[in-house]
Amino acid sequence: MCGSNQRGQLGALLMALALLTATPIQADEGSHSPVKRRQQGILTGMPFMANLSPRTFVDDLGRKVFLARPPVRVVSLAPSITEMLYAIGVGDQVVGVTVNCDYPPEARAKPKVGYTQPNLEAILALQPDLVLTPSEYVRADVLGKLEHLKVPTFVLAARTMEDIPSHLRTLGRMLGRPSPADQLASELRRRIAEVRSRTEGRLRPRLLYVLNSEPLITVGPGSYIHQLIEFAGGANVAAGAAAPYPRLSIETVLNADPDWILFPVGSAEGIPEGEQQRWRRWVTVSAVKHERFQRIPSDLLNRPGPRIVEGLELLARTLHPEAFASPAPP
């Protein structure tokens, strides 16, 4: 992204797609010593762990992480993860966050450990007993060093809408807060289901989600935002793409003729006003002709955290205002 647009969790996704970060992590980590892993508590690929113990958790890279007790010093390497931790009531256990962790406001006062390039020394200085990181920019070297130094590290990857409440429940169990986490996860699922019931069977307007303007990057199958568009009653113009975050040519957009163009906006991440206005030159596009430019706070869309349902509801009300004119169905 350009300017401030390069900051935030979205920037991490785009850098990962461009292969600007390190080599992807492989789930098979059998080259590490089983004895060291047992001492450390991160148990990966060992036959005697076929039946998981109640304190063993499998992350989204397939790695098994054993925690003898709920962690009390946690470092979060993504704004979405920080929001989840506060939402389940363990904000006081968060000892380090990224420079973009700005919600809730209390998170801004926490020590910073970088973002897309986490500062390993800063992380270790905080003496965490658990590091939580998104998969989009997890680095093989950083993960390897944390494991070598016996710092349990758990990787989260939100590829579907369901992954978000599922992650909340997992974090609740890891951190000794299962009840509030389960309640929040259930509430998210209930609100998602209500939106889907209201938009089901309605005509789906074609929508272009602009993650980045130059080059044009959007969302495709395999991304939770693609699923969010579908749940909101829209038809993603990049539904046929082969990647979760594909690049599109302007010719493809003109042929798709979107009814709506959606811009995530915000002070830290999002599409600047100047870039939004440049879309007006494509006067043959239905969204331009009918002034259907929708702006939704990027924090509600680009962060797979507990506020994602607010973004879903805003988009659904934009595409289908008539579906929300009456009270919720029983």
Task: Place domain 202-322 in its CATH homologous superfamily.
Answer: Nitrogenase molybdenum iron protein domain (3.40.50.1980)
Q: What is the pLDDT of residue 30?
A: 32
Q: What is the pLDDT of residue 8?
A: 45
> Do the two domains 34-157 and 202-322 of this chain adopt the same fold?
yes
Q: What is the pLDDT of residue 136?
A: 85
Q: What is the pLDDT of residue 116?
A: 82
Residues in the chain, pLDDT under 70: 1-53, 328-330
Closest CA to 266 of 311, 217, 232, 236: 311
Q: What is the pLDDT of residue 38?
A: 29
Specify whether the CB–CB gap between 215 and 329 falls below 8 A. Answer: no
CB count, 10 Å around CB of 206? Answer: 17
Tokens of 36: 């060291």
Calculate the alpha carbon distances from 140 to 15, 136, 180 in Å: 15, 12, 33
Show me where the domains of the chain are located.
34-157, 202-322
pTM: predicted TM-score of the whole model, two decimal places = 0.82
Q: What is the pLDDT of residue 43?
A: 35
Q: CA torsion sign, 175 to 178 to 184 to 189?
A: positive
**Ramachandran bin of 80, using left for φ above 0, alpha for ψ from -120 to 50, beta for the remaining angles:** alpha
Q: What is the pLDDT of residue 330?
A: 56
According to the CATH classification, is domain 34-157 in 3.10.620.30?
Answer: no
Arithmetic mean of pLDDT over the chain: 86
Q: What is the pLDDT of residue 51?
A: 47
